[in-house]
Structure 1
Amino acid sequence: MEKDNAAVIERHRYLEVLHEFTMRQASMNSVDDICWNIAKTAIGELGFVDCVVYLMNEAHSELVQRAAHGNKNPGEREILDPIAIPVGEGIVGSVAETGVLERVEDTRDDERYILDDSFRCSELAVPILREGKVIGVLDSEHPEPHFFSDEDVKLFTTIAALASTRIDTALALERLEKQAEELIDARREAEAASKAKSRFLASISHDMRTPLTAILGYSKLAEEGASSQEQMAEWQRAIVTNAEYMADMVGNVLDLTVLESGQVSVSYDVIVLADWVADLGSLLNPRILQKGLSFRSSMARDVPGQIQCDKAKLTELTMNLLTNAVKYTVSGRVEFFMGLSTLDGRAALNLKVSDTGIGMSPDDLRVIFEPFTRVHDHEGFMNVEGTGLGLSIVELYVDALGGSITVTSVPGEGTCFDVVIPVLPAEEGEGSAAETELVQEPKGVAVKPTAVLKDRRILLCEDSETVATLVTLILERDGALVIHAENGESGMKHFSDSKEHFDVVITDIQMPVMDGYALASALRTEGWSKPIIALTAFATDQDADKCLNAGCSHYITKPIDVATFASQVARSLSDTHA
């Protein structure tokens, strides 16, 4: 009688545990919650000393441990030395393969037994089935042989059956969440790529229209004639310089594709280094003067007068480094040093470009050579021109030439690029290896006035010295008096001077310090109602709307038409804003 009562009590306890287990399962959605509920609530509270819940991996090739009870569970939701069992291997793997439970009375007699945390004589492995498919295995071991009873088999089978639907649903949700995360990541990557492409197209459009303004403008003036020989020579230099700049830019885009595909050829040109450095200086000087920086180039005494290297690639990678240095240096200096070195036993040219600019963080340095990346797209550098291809091209050219490049940088102090390029010796020619300061004073150009803008006072805000000179020449030829400011902040100072009275403001949009949007907004805030003409290389409808929303009354895109530009400005004076 007492034995029967004990059996009833034990069965009642089992039912209570199963009831509690089932009730908890009903509110659980995550795989981990469900599996740990099996191990801790069901198996643990039923008095079994050991249990591991195995689930099938996505490939259905092996079983992984997701929850445990006993020595395998040393801490909260912690599995000691988790293992994975291939389907078909061991007792657990066999159950997963056949879908049939196995009760091993003495594992010492079963060569399939896999030792995990410690050896135990009895093992009970029950499949977790969902619509006839094995999705996991509920496994328990005991130190004593012949431990698991028929009642235990029923309990484990019941627990596995009660949990199978919840586990299958949770696994499906887990897969969906993973897919959703992957889709979100893919969308973010696609959006980032789209934004990078848009920035690239906007930048390349802007940076091509600016030199086009100079090329077409000065070409038109030269075509009209009636200018001095000195003026013609100056215009021709501006045309050539800007045409070369455009050619380099287009070459950047084309070269990126070729270089990344590995299909690039290297030529060997004789380079007179003194002349080459002087050419670099003439290209860089307008930018240096515009920002009020100092620039020094120097060569070590042992550098030969001539070398052989791919001149186009050497020039482009060096100019990219120099212009970057100028872009991100607010005050101070940019230095260019050239010396001799060796690389892999070969004679090499060592080029160093250093600046006192804003510098870069370690995170910036990790991505600076990635295409379309501009690490300073923030704060005062939103309006810095460029496609984000410069340093990518530099690295690819350095690789193509068999060289090396390193960069050191300190935020707030500056950056130094160190490039080593293998070169071949060349027959010595003219040229000295002396240190040189490169400075250039812009010259004024006299023009013949007409009456279109006679006596009109115009404030021109334009950071490109070439474009500013051209626009000033065109406007003064038509009778205007032009005051030039290199950025919006300087323009506001001219505007605030009570001695100055302007009829119209012409402003570039992308300028350092204070851009055209901010200038137009500030002028309107001051109560100025006369025309503000946006003269910009940004040429989409959205760009036009942005200019007008900022306070501009008119919008003219670069390149300008020399024949009609003055008339366009004159027409703005007759509009209602004038």
Structure 2
Amino acid sequence: MDNNKVDILDRALKRQKEARKTAEQILEQRSLELFNTSEELKRVNKQLEEVLDEKNTQLKGVFENINDAYLVMNLNGEVLKMNDIAERFFGYSMDESPNVVDLIYKEDYLYAMSSFQELIEKGKFSGFTARIITKEKKIKWVNINAITILDKNNQPIAAQGVIRDITEEREKQIVLDLINNIAQSILGKEEINEIASEISSKIAKYLNTNDCIIYLLDNDSKTLEQIAAYGQKQQKDNSIFNRIILPIGKGIVGTVAKIGKSEIIHDTSKDDRYILDDKIRYSEITVPIINNGEVIGIIDAEHEQKNYFNEDQLETVENIANLVALQLKSALNIRERKKVEDKNKELLEKLTISNEELKEYAHIVSHDLKSPLRSIAALSTWIKMDNLDCFDKNSLEYFDDLEMTLEKMEGLISDVLKFSKVESKDQEEEVDLDFLVRDLIKMLYVPDNITVKILSKLPSVIGDKTKLQQIFQNLISNAVKFNNKENGIITIGVEDQNSFYKFTITDNGIGIDKKHFDKIFKIFQSLKEAKDSSGIGLSIVKKIVNLYQGEIWLDSEINKGTTFYFTLKK
């Protein structure tokens, strides 16, 4: 081996020795650091134990008599000490050394961490309220007051706290808040599906289930219809996918509706009544909505787990059912009323069309009937005039009777046309009835033996002048026409009755038998044969009075006279 190779090997060996020496130094340094850390940890733990012993000595008398859970933990959340109440509450013994972090309910984790940071920074916190999970996986509400434990340098090394179980009062508050929230959310709502949707969503959230259905009972069909849903059956527009209608008595829902008593089913797979809807769920809670002793609907919720629902939840849903029963019944009545109103509107529209068609028909008929009548009248007149010398006295009287009959028929057709026109108020205006009636009396034929008096000034009303004139004209004309006294008297009066005026037209004429009181207001009903009476006048009067939301009636005594009463709205 030459000298060059020897030098290379020496240098390599030297570097190797130096590297080993360096590694040994690093290892020695790390070992020292580890030893020091271990000693520091021992010191801290010893100090922690001393502090705990000191605190325990100071607080021993206090915590021996405390009725709440108490524990001590290090800053990593490891439980160092807890009393018997804490062990029973959390379900862990000290031998199991639970970590507080593992006890925190998932949804409250961030809140718990921020509160712990506050504890470290401020040295204490009070009134911390959150949920924890026990060893048996039960969710509990707790209220915690805690303080830090300081070392001799006043640095936090642990924390201790008192944990109070507030599950029962918290759940009561949740239920109260839920009921208040539901009451506020449905207040003022009239649409039944909207109310039911609010109920189903809030109950589902309270029960922590993704299925809640509201059924409405139909007494006519004896069925239950799904009207609101929360969960997979609820579509984006809040309508229900695959809406189900159940006969009363069928299924769990139908049974509850029939007997009116709530049920909890812990395992639906063992209940023959269970009806599969969108998917199988093993727990079901069903509550009737009762108003005045009558079932009007059902609240039904399901959960995928067996034995999920409990009696406390049942009581809460029953309280909600009692709360919403009146509002649902009111909404149901409104819905039924709207159905009737819609039906009436539809009928009114059809009636309006029918009336228009009837008016048109009346015009056509009157025209078609009057034309041949006038032709007959003209032909009769021509025959009579052309053969005047050929007819005897009786024949000429026949011609006179024929002309009178044709004239009466034409008048009857005109009256029918007038009757068909009464349906609407054509020209509404303020009408001075005093002026109208006085002017009308001047135009009517009133024999010298009859006196017409207006007892007091007549008022002005809003209405169709022509129709209002028809009322007074028909009644006054009849009073004149059927008056057989030597000194006939007709009086017209008025009385103010709040929102109406009551008018009277009284005569001392022949009177009307009581058995005919209803008959005289019907079309084509005339009690006396008269050439100028078609029997339509009083039917037109009644129709006009009804049009103005009034009433018409009469008092009468044979041979003593008659009084017609009618009202007109102001």
Query: TM-score, normalization: structure 1?
Result: 0.37
- Which of structures 1 and 2 has the larger relative contact order (alpha carbons within 8 angstroms, sep 6+)? 1
More helix by share: 2
